[in-house]
Copies of this chain bind each other. A is one copy, B any other.
Amino acid sequence: MASTLPKAPSSPLLRDLTHSLPMALLRTREAVVQRFREVLSRHGLTEQQWRILRALDGREGLEVSLLAEQCQILPPSMSGILKRMEQRGLIVRKANRADGRSILVALTGEAQALVEQIKPEIVAVYAEIERILGRRKLEQLYILLEALEAGLKRNS
């Protein structure tokens, strides 16, 4: 099949698509997230909804903006996701007496129970990942990811 042969690079300066950094990060993330998605979909949750549950777990209430920042979800997306989670009875919104603009979000009892139910399954996935790559390399990966992120944000 000729279409899968490596193409002749028309520019020697541009890295092959297969090895571009955004693609490498995307492919690896997809491979990782797929494992988590298998668990979460059994409980009717998306990856983003799980991030929100995780961020709210053990907290009294969190402003939408802080929640969005911690979950790496932009406010317009967060708005819709929270609406659906509220309708499903997973979160509640409370007024913030200290600031009339902001809104506090908190888990319902049902959501807390769901989180406790899912946690061990997620822990098992983490264990599998650590077993696959090895603890040492996994730690090294975290360090490099955070170094690159920090460097990019410093220079922006």
Q: Which residues A132-156 have CB closer than 8 A to chain B? A: 132-133, 137-138, 140-142, 144-149, 151-153, 155-156
Taken together, the copies of this chain in the complex come to 2
Asked whether A29 and B26 contact (CB < 8 A) given A21-B126, A128-B155, the answer is: yes
- Map CB proximity to B onto A115-131 as digits: 1 under 8 Å, 0 otherwise: 01001101100101100
A116 to chain B, nearest CB (A): 8
Q: A17: which B residues are within 8 A, CB to CB?
A: 51, 54-55, 70-71
Residue A113 interfacial (CB < 8 Å): no
Tell me, in angstroms, the Cα distance from A119 to B14 when the chains sit together: 7
Q: A120: which B residues are within 8 A, CB to CB?
A: 13
Asked whether A28 and B129 contact (CB < 8 A) given A7-B59, A17-B54, A62-B3, the answer is: no
Q: A66: which B residues are within 8 A, CB to CB?
A: 3-4
Q: A60: which B residues are within 8 A, CB to CB?
A: 3
Question: Which listed residue, B123, B128, B133, touches A14 by the CB 8 Å rule?
Answer: B123
Residue A25 interfacial (CB < 8 Å): yes
- Map CB proximity to B onto A63-84 as digits: 1 under 8 Å, 0 otherwise: 1001000111000000000000
The 6 closest A-B pairs by CB, nearest first: A132-B151, A25-B29, A31-B152, A28-B145, A141-B144, A7-B58
